[in-house]
Amino acid sequence: MRIKDFKLERFFAEHEFSVKYVLGASDCEGIMQRDLFSMADKDSLALWNNLKLGYTESQGHPVLREEISELYQGIEAKDVMVLAPQEGIFVVINSLLDKKDHVIVTFPAYQSLYEVAETIGCEVTKWMPDPFNNWELDVDFLRRNIKSNTKLLVINFPHNPTGYLPTKEKFLEIIEIAKEHVLYVFSDEMYRFLEYEKTDRLPSACEIYDKSVVLFGMSKTFSLPGLRIGWLITKEKELFKKFSSFKDYTTICSSAPSEILSIMALRTKNRIIDINLKIIKNNLNLFESFVSKNNELLSFIKPRAGSIAFPSLNKKVDSSNFCLNLIKEKSVMLLPSEVYDYKGNNFRIGFGRTNFSEAINKLEEFINEKQF
Ligand SMILES: Cc1ncc(COP(=O)(O)O)c(C=O)c1O
């Protein structure tokens, strides 16, 4: 299989560990191991102390799958497969799709959500949001673009990179359309539980539609991307079997220590989520005032969930040059819209890090020095 470069990940690989401020990150501030252990309950500490570092169960540690199933209504441990989040995307798309299939994907998107399908040879329709209307998606576009060979709808809410979260009504309408046309739905829910108002939280697709596959994991909401633990959920038994067979060619099973650390974190999830929401809301407020001070250069649709947004720059300033010069001159990394193959003049900014205000000060210095 030959696949195109993953532009966003290549950009991260080049800059993430050499800059001082990763202002475009989508994860929340990473947890220190000592802090996770200090929050851990007795049972998970016992699991840790008695951990044998052999191969693990391919589907995932039974206790971890139990913890994961409790995040959902009507889901059991047997419906959960533990794997790395990125691996989950690769497994689902490869297991589900053939060359002849048509796929509709919300766009811009985390590249693997459409690139794997394009590499297989599928026809991919990109479902674009409206940048002049709060990044809204037009449900009629979805209706109009479903064809006889449409097999899969890929959605991602809260959305990377815009932070868009549809209303519950709109989300249910989208799922109803998939049901009417018997489409599979692959719902990437990596930023779930980061809704700023709890009442805005959507049901998980796996709670309301049996032909859905859900992706979630420890990387964003739970501050533990270094564990490389995520999961897929589906109630479709045949699909589940296909995922298991495919996974034998990717990782076979997950990392034993990471599974136990994930159990620890999920057992203290509300504390972690509260800390992260506090950081995000605080940083969002800072950024709102920053944008209003610099409104000739910047505009911004405030998200209702998640740890990122996709502000746009005044047309005279090219976002790729802006981001590259910012890295060079101030050691601050934002992600230009070019890494998403998005035609607008935007950049991705992240609100989950504790050094956000320092990074914004550097950004301000840069803007003032350049006199944009
Ligand atoms: C929407 C989305 N899906 C999947 C992933 C993959 O997660 P991970 O990097 O933990 O494998 C990411 C990571 O940025 C993401 O933003």
Pair (246, 316) in one structural domain: no
Task: Tell me the Cα Rg of the chain.
Answer: 20
Distance CA 223, CA 266 (A): 11
Looking at the domain assignment, is residue 43 inside a domain?
Answer: no
Pair (302, 255) in one structural domain: no
Segment 121-152, tens digit of pLDDT? 999 999 999 999 999 999 999 999 999 999 99
Looking at the domain assignment, is residue 294 inside a domain?
Answer: yes
Pair (310, 349) in one structural domain: yes
Q: Is there an atom of ligand 1 within 6 Å of 162 CB?
A: no
Find the domain containing 165 and state its range. Answer: 53-268
Domain stop point among 234, 268, 302: 268
Pair (18, 91) in one structural domain: no
pLDDT, position 371: 86
Pair (94, 143) in one structural domain: yes
Pair (81, 227) in one structural domain: yes
Q: Which of 219, 221, 339, 340 to mutate to test the pocket of ligand 1 (most atoms within 8 A of CB)?
A: 219
Q: Is there an atom of ligand 1 within 6 Å of 190 CB?
A: yes
Q: Is there an atom of ligand 1 within 6 Å of 44 CB?
A: no
What's the 86 CA to ligand 1 centre distance in angstroms?
Answer: 6
Q: Is there an atom of ligand 1 within 6 Å of 110 CB?
A: yes
Contact (CB, 8 A) for 171 and 202: yes
- What CATH number did the domain enclosing 16 receive? 3.90.1150.10
Q: Is there an atom of ligand 1 within 6 Å of 189 CB?
A: no
Q: Domain count of the chain?
A: 2
Question: At 2, which amino acid appears?
Answer: R
- Nearest by Cα to 194 from 224, 226, 158: 158
Tell me which residues of the chain have a pLDDT lower than 50.
none
Question: At 147, which amino acid appears?
Answer: K
CA-to-CA dists, residue 142 to 105, 128, 180, angstroms: 10, 10, 12
Domain stop point among 236, 268, 300: 268
47 Cβ neighbours under 8 A, 6+ residues apart: 63, 260, 263
Pair (350, 244) in one structural domain: no
Q: How many CA atoms lie within 13 A of 80 on its CB side?
A: 27
pLDDT, position 372: 82
Distance CA 82, CA 57 (A): 9
Report which protein residue has its CA nearest ligand 1's atom 14. 26
Looking at the domain assignment, is residue 39 inside a domain?
Answer: no
Contact (CB, 8 A) for 307 and 296: no
Question: DSSP code of 305?
Answer: B
Looking at the domain assignment, is residue 285 inside a domain?
Answer: yes
Q: Is there an atom of ligand 1 within 6 Å of 232 CB?
A: no
Looking at the domain assignment, is residue 38 inside a domain?
Answer: no
Pair (231, 366) in one structural domain: no
pLDDT, position 276: 98
Q: What angle do CA 249, 225, 334 make, to 5 degrees?
A: 115
Looking at the domain assignment, is residue 2 inside a domain?
Answer: no
What's the 131 CA to ligand 1 centre distance in angstroms?
Answer: 23
What's the 88 CA to ligand 1 centre distance in angstroms?
Answer: 10
What's the 150 CA to ligand 1 centre distance in angstroms?
Answer: 25
pLDDT, position 54: 97
DSSP letters of 37-68? HHH--HHHHHHHHT---S---TT--HHHHHHH
pLDDT, position 59: 98
Looking at the domain assignment, is residue 128 inside a domain?
Answer: yes
Pair (253, 286) in one structural domain: no
pLDDT, position 162: 98
CA-to-CA dists, residue 205 to 130, 135, 226, 301, 366, angstroms: 23, 21, 26, 25, 43
Domain stop point among 216, 233, 268: 268
What's the 50 CA to ligand 1 centre distance in angstroms?
Answer: 31
Pair (252, 348) in one structural domain: no
Q: Is 75 helix (H, G, I), strand (E, B) or coil?
A: coil
Segment 249-279, tens digit of pLDDT? 999 999 999 999 999 999 999 999 999 999 9
Q: Which of 220, 250, 258 to mutate to test the pocket of ligand 1 (most atoms within 8 A of CB)?
A: 220
Pair (263, 282) in one structural domain: no
Looking at the domain assignment, is residue 46 inside a domain?
Answer: no
- What CATH number did the domain enclosing 146 receive? 3.40.640.10
pTM tops 0.85, yes or no = yes
Pair (104, 72) in one structural domain: yes
Tell me which residue has tokens 């549809």: 166
Q: Is there an atom of ligand 1 within 6 Å of 83 CB?
A: no
Which H or E run contains 237? helix 237-247
Q: Is there an atom of ligand 1 within 6 Å of 350 CB?
A: no
pLDDT, position 233: 98
